[in-house]
Amino acid sequence: MILAEERAEVCAYARRMTTDGLVVGTSGNVSVRVGDRVAVTPTGVDYEKLTAADIPVVALDGSPVDGELKPTSELPMHLTVYNEAADPDGKPVTAVVHTHSVYATAVSTLVNEVPPIHYMLAAIGPTARVARYATYGTERLAKAMLEALDERRGCLLANHGTITYGDGLGAAYHRAQQLEWVCQLWLLARSAGSPSLLPPAEIEHVVEKLRGYGQ
């Protein structure tokens, strides 16, 4: 079985999305790229029942390579990220996480950008934009997403959810978690009053600091 380890990792992170409350049921999806092959969650399958063999593998043009199940209906977004998105620091783009997380989706109905209420927004970029609404699974949605991702590592999808990417599923998933947390924080503060926001210069400063963060 080609990409056996990557397909198993896709299963593990798909189940983790459910456990962490970033998706409900079979919504949301994840993928990993190795060269010109992409392992991605299938459409309409309970993540708790997924096995590595259930994970379809496609080429970068979407044509099937291995696996009997159909890939997620959001394949156009995943492939657009791999084919056209560029990490602001020039790092490889090898994993994509798409969630339907509650707080981020709620925020996507209220604003055009996530307000800079906390410096961890810098895990995404100077801001996190909200891509204009388009029907799920369409090229139109993929195009709107790509525009919102310019110089960013993730974005919200209006009335829909979020998408993040990284060099490896760990990085992409961490960004999805951080984006959801920042959205939850903003909604909580907003419900109590008018939250103070960080100036753009501070977010830019933290973007620079995060480039050297970690071991």
Residue 80 in contact with residue 145, Cβ under 8 Å?
yes
- Is 74 catalytic? The answer is yes
Of the candidates 95, 110, 93, 104, which has an alpha carbon nearest to the alpha carbon of residue 23?
Answer: 104
Number of H helices, E strands in the chain: 6, 9
Asked if residue 154 lies in contact with residue 93, where contact means CB atoms within 8 angstroms, the answer is: no
Helix, strand, coil fractions of the chain, as percent rounded to 5: 40, 20, 40
Residue environment code for 157-167, b if the CB has 16+ CB neighbours within 10 A, otherwise e: bbebbbbbbbe
Catalytic residue, candidates 9, 74, 139, 151: 74
List residues with catalytic annotation: 74
